[in-house]
Amino acid sequence: MRRGNEYRIGERQEQSFGKAVEYYHKAARRNYAPAQYMMGIMYECGHGVPQSYREAAKWYEKAFNQGYRRATSAMAFLWESGLGVKRSRSLAIEHYSTAAEGGDLRAYNNLGLIYRDRNSPEHNDHGAVVFFQKGNLKEFQPCQCNLASMYEKGLDVSRDCETAVILFKRAARQGNLSAKRSLAEMYSLGLGIPQSETVARHLYLEAARWGDPEAVAFLKDEDFEGPSYDSIPPRATTPMEMLALGLRYLDGSTIGLSVPSAIFWLESAAKAGSTAAMFALGQIYEYGYGVERSSKSAMKWYKWGAEKGNGTCAYSYAYLYEQAGLVDSPQVCLAMYQTAADNAPDEDIKSDALYSLGIFHSNGMGTEQSDENALACFCQSADLGNASAQYMAGIMFLEGNGCERSEEKASKYLRMAADQGDDRAAEILSDIVN
């Protein structure tokens, strides 16, 4: 089992899902429930074996019959969705309830979704609030987002937009896309929080980088009609549909939460050419959304996206490359930051990439040292709103590095940085004025 985990995660040796399956299968044949559960995961993801919900159900059921709680929740998801087994919402509720009694976070969320469904005979807003609150108390981001939605709409609780904002913020900080979209809308409308179109736009941009269709439509000023997923199980045939379905499974806000199914659909979208899916997979592994954190796996997906021209992937790859201390090849970072600056999908990524390029030119990392090139990058980044670049541009104009000394230009950029809360810039600006 341990060796299987090592090959699956791939941190200590080269990743091999095939070898991971071999080790899991050996342990599973000895009736070891955690290994049986992992066999189910591998089949649901399609890692090391052809993807098969039917085979996943077979292995989950073996572990479930031994009382393995995580398998109980996994089987409940398959019964609820009709994936690999005949759909049975009664069995799903029964086994989600069993898993929830043992503290299973996924069960809290998915039970809440079942009870929140107004078209279901089991509809019960109070039950939804109870289970979402259980997950919220454990800081489980899907439950935080869904509970926030109940407060925003006033379902079984008094409508309270301020509480909704607090919960949406907590979920958004953990990467929940639905929370980011909802929070963006509340900033845009000034519900429960002072209105700010700037903050709203930043949140929509964050969601759009994942390829979130609703956020993308908003930024393009297009109408959006979300998928209903009335078909059981949900289906997707195009890369865009695969991406959207994968994100829905990951989010757990409109359909049952399942990270293995999310990974399967996102990988399917990536293999079909979706660079947004490549970025989403990189984020999943970088931050550990329902999986073990793995910079190596994250960088694999970011690199693939960067090679296909995705600026966000290029920036994320370069950032992780730096964080890993791989300073022996600064040219790699420099090239990736340049790709990000040239192909950035939005001004936030472009400004961050330009700032990093400025640092590399200033320090002569991967290129000949050049204050002129550094200043050019800092100014471009500063004009896009990057406070750190505004500070650096101000200092360079003040000291005459890469340019003629100019207190006027220095003051301009330092004031921009100070207005964004940079105390260093404010102090230097005060000295210039006085």
Residues of the chain with pLDDT under 70: 224-233, 325-328
Give the closest residue to 309 by CA, choosing from 341, 285, 332: 341
In a domain, 230, yes or no: no
pLDDT at 323: 84
Q: Which domain holds residue 118?
A: 103-225
In a domain, 258, yes or no: yes
CA atoms of 106 and 98, how far apart (whole Å): 12
Residue 266 and residue 153 in one domain? no
In a domain, 171, yes or no: yes
CA atoms of 36 and 46, how far apart (whole Å): 15
pLDDT tens-digit readout, 329-373: 789 999 999 999 999 888 999 999 999 999 999 999 999 999 999
Residue 152 and residue 179 in one domain? yes
pLDDT at 351: 96
Give the closest residue to 212 by CA, choosing from 148, 162, 141, 283: 283
CA atoms of 422 and 379, how far apart (whole Å): 17
**Contacts of residue 264, Cβ cutoff 8 Å, sequence gap at least 6:** 44, 45, 46, 51, 246
Residue 382 and residue 322 in one domain? no
In a domain, 334, yes or no: no
Q: Are 128 and 112 in contact (CB under 8 A)?
A: yes
Find the helix packing angle between 311-323 and 295-307, rounded to 10°: 140
Chain Cα centroid distance, residue 90: 32
In a domain, 233, yes or no: no
Residue 61 and residue 138 in one domain? no
pLDDT at 210: 94
pLDDT at 226: 61
Residue 121 and residue 93 in one domain? no
Residue 2 and residue 93 in one domain? yes
In a domain, 232, yes or no: no
CA atoms of 8 and 202, how far apart (whole Å): 35
Residue 109 and residue 202 in one domain? yes
pLDDT at 229: 46
CA atoms of 91 and 72, how far apart (whole Å): 11
pLDDT tens-digit readout, 263-302: 999 999 999 999 999 999 999 999 999 999 999 999 999 9
Residue 109 and residue 220 in one domain? yes
Q: Identify the burial level of 66 via C-beta atoms within 10 angstroms of its C-beta, where 0-12 means exposed, 13-18 middle and 19 or more buried.
A: middle
pLDDT at 326: 57
pLDDT tens-digit readout, 319-330: 999 887 655 678
The CATH number covering residue 90 comes to 1.25.40.10
